[in-house]
Chains A and B, each alone.
Chain A
Amino acid sequence: GNSVTQMEGPVTLSEEAFLTINCTYTATGYPSLFWYVQYPGEGLQLLLKATKADDKGSNKGFEATYRKETTSFHLEKGSVQVSDSAVYFCALISKNRDDKIIFGKGTRLHILP
């Protein structure tokens, strides 16, 4: 079945550091891929998405590229801020009509000032 694997946290970085959170997936066909973010005390919200191979999703300085050859959708940001401290979830959904969205286990990110 479909699955998402993301790096375990917590990840702790200093402000202005480069961030990568790894996400790989298993799915048939060409799923749509997502990153969701949950800031402290808030609900989950979509950060970015990509719906086909080689697409790049971007938002708030974050980027992720849909790599079919490596079945990956790694989240990157060039210079993180304290306000980026949150839990990040990678997710996918296949193109089959009744398939559900599959989430990874989440990666907690701490940014130190």
Chain B
Amino acid sequence: GAGVSQSPSNKVTEKGKDVELRCDPISGHTALYWYRQSLGQGLEFLIYFQGNSAPDKSGLPSDRFSAERTGGSVSTLTIQRTQQEDSAVYLCASSLAQGQGAGANVLTFGAGSRLTVL
């Protein structure tokens, strides 16, 4: 597609429920990142994919968080047993990888999924 697409754009859930957030990157982008941004705060790195593998999962806050990427394309971030502190905007970004041309490593961000845990 033309841009990075994230869904849902808005999700309100009750504490303890599981949620899935989806990211559809730009076609051909092998690198995919998930970040979390709380109101007025900076970017909190969660996980990074290169193709279908995740060289760096160091940012996942707890074992309630997991992510996968299939077919080198769509990625899903899953949060189990949500807590109120999980409320934030979850951002996905993708880029061409090293050596893939002038646009390599230039991130294109999606509009984000705003999660509210009641």
Contacts and interface: CB of A to CB of B under 8 A. Distances in A.
Nearest to A107: B42
Report the contact-size class of chain A (Cβ under 8 Å from the partner).
Answer: 10 to 19
Nearest to A87: B42
Given A100-B48, A100-B56, A101-B105, A89 B110 contact: no
Given A103-B45, A106-B43, A36 B107 contact: yes
B13 interface: no
Nearest to A32: B105
B98 interface: yes
A93 B42 contact: no
B106 A46 contact: yes
Interface of A: 32, 34, 36, 43-46, 49, 89, 93, 95, 97-98, 100-101, 103-106
Given A43-B111, A97-B98, 5 more contacts: A44-B93, A45-B109, A49-B106, A97-B97, A98-B50
Interface of B: 33, 42-43, 45, 48, 50, 55-56, 91, 93, 95, 97-98, 105-107, 109-112
11 contacts: A32-B105, A36-B107, A43-B112, A44-B43, A46-B106, A46-B107, A49-B106, A97-B98, A98-B56, A100-B45, A103-B42
